[in-house]
Amino acid sequence: MSAPNGVMMQYFHWYNEPDGTLWNELAQRAPELAQAGITAVWLPPAYKGTAGGYDVGYGVYDLYDLGEFDQKGSVRTKYGTKDEYVAAIQAAKQAGIDVYADVVLNHKLGGDQEEEFNATPFSPDNRSQPIGDRVTIKGWTHFTFPGRQGKYSEMEWHWWHFNAIDYNAYEQGDFDAVYLFEGKLFDHQVDMEKGGFDYLMGCDLDMSHEEVRAELMQWGEWYVDLTDIDGFRFDAVKHVQAGFSQIGYSTYASTPGKDCSRSVSIGLTRLRRCITLLRSPAAMLPCLMPPCITTFLQRAKVAMTMTCAASLTAA
Ligand SMILES: [Ca+2]
Ligand SMILES: [Ca+2]
């Protein structure tokens, strides 16, 4: 937030009616919000999720479909169309309100076709513990985006762009596992909960794969150019390789005037441990958010600095 003592409003919640009106509502009410003292809004993920017009946005299907293509049962997202989204951002900015986008890069859901490949089952509760031999599995890992037909990006996603799923069409019964794909490792530099918390849900992106990194970089540039968004709220940061965070998030935020806020999910016990280990709040920051936070703090945004300070006080 650029305003001193600014107020950011989360301009959505999980149970918003899925009627496609949120973007238009924001556009109409932006002056009223500004008059009430709101200086920034945090908007929900704006791209098409696997549940189409009902998806809150965290079940990411197609990053390039902001409510423009007939995919997953509708053109619009839960909140409206691409044009309405861009117009809402412009209206908010004209009213003096900064707009933050929610960006979910950890996973994808709703693949268009099944693929067969080899994988090793791991315990969902301990990702360092295999619970069976490598087997041939089948999952929804091929994303073709048939409604978009290559516009903006021609990349189709295949199983090799991911490193894990928690579904196997060949597995009958209630066998519960996270399947690590053959030739892959779980991404490192993630939260150590569950023995390494790379995998959260759906098809987990392999952040080590060059095509994945390149596609996400390209998407970030496209998205910033299209929306003129002011900043970001990154989802599921603790499940994403910090090395990617350093490159990706700082790239997204490197456009002059852009901000890079983060999703911080860490318990007080771990906070205290970090403080004990490092004996310095300043030194603790890289512990929380390894490389990116440094980049972020160099960009000197007060909001995040204050958030960290508040967490330290609480601990
Ligand atoms: Ca992950
Ligand atoms: Ca991964």
Is 153 in the same domain as 273?
no
CA-CA-CA-CA torsion for 302, 44, 196, 212, nearest 10 degrees? -100
Structure tokens at 137: 């599995």
pLDDT on residue 233? 84
Is 201 in the same domain as 253?
no
255 CA distance to ligand 1 middle (Å): 25
Looking at the domain assignment, is residue 167 inside a domain? yes
Is 172 in the same domain as 224?
no
Task: Give φ, ψ of 174 to 5 degrees.
Answer: -110, 35
Q: What is the DSSP string of 59-106?
A: SEEETT-SS-S-BTTBSSBTTB-HHHHHHHHHHHHHTT-EEEEEE--S
Looking at the domain assignment, is residue 51 inside a domain? yes
Q: Quick one: pLDDT band at residue 259, thresholds 50, 70, 90?
A: low
Ligand nearest to the CA of 199: 1
Is 135 in the same domain as 228?
no
pLDDT on residue 226? 95
204 CA distance to ligand 1 middle (Å): 5
Cα dist. 70→25, 147, 207, 213, 215 in Å?
23, 5, 28, 26, 22
pLDDT on residue 17? 96
Which residue segment(s) compose the domain that 175 sits in? 108-209
**For the domain that residue 196 is a member of, what is the CATH number?**
2.40.30.140
Is 32 in the same domain as 54?
yes
**For the domain that residue 262 is a member of, what is the CATH number?**
3.20.20.80
pLDDT tens digits along 31-81: 999 999 999 999 999 999 999 999 999 999 999 999 999 999 999 999 999
Q: Quick one: pLDDT band at residue 253, thresholds 50, 70, 90?
A: low
User: In this structure, are residues 148 and 64 in contact, taking their beta carbons and an 8 Å threshold?
Assistant: yes
Number of folded domains that form the chain: 2
Residue 269 has pLDDT above 90, yes or no: no
Is 167 in the same domain as 123?
yes
pLDDT on residue 232? 83
pLDDT tens digits along 122-142: 999 999 999 999 999 999 999
Looking at the domain assignment, is residue 87 inside a domain? yes
H or E segment to which residue 287 belongs: helix 281-288
**Phi-psi label, residue 108: left if phi above 0, alpha if psi -120 to 50, beta otherwise:** beta
Is 97 in the same domain as 219?
yes
Residue whose entry in the numeric block shows the structure tokens 């794969």 = 209
Q: Which residues surround ligand 1, an ion (CB under 5 A)?
A: 106, 198, 204, 239
Is 32 in the same domain as 157?
no
Residue whose entry in the numeric block shows the structure tokens 């993920």 = 45
Looking at the domain assignment, is residue 2 inside a domain? no
Q: What angle do CA 174, 237, 109 make, to 5 degrees?
A: 45
Looking at the domain assignment, is residue 1 inside a domain? no
Structure tokens at 74: 């509708």
Is 166 in the same domain as 307?
no
Ligand nearest to the CA of 197: 1
Domain limit, last residue, from 174, 209, 244 = 209
Domain limit, last residue, from 165, 189, 209 = 209
pTM of the entire predicted model: 0.81
CA distance 140 to 264: 30
191 CA distance to ligand 1 middle (Å): 10
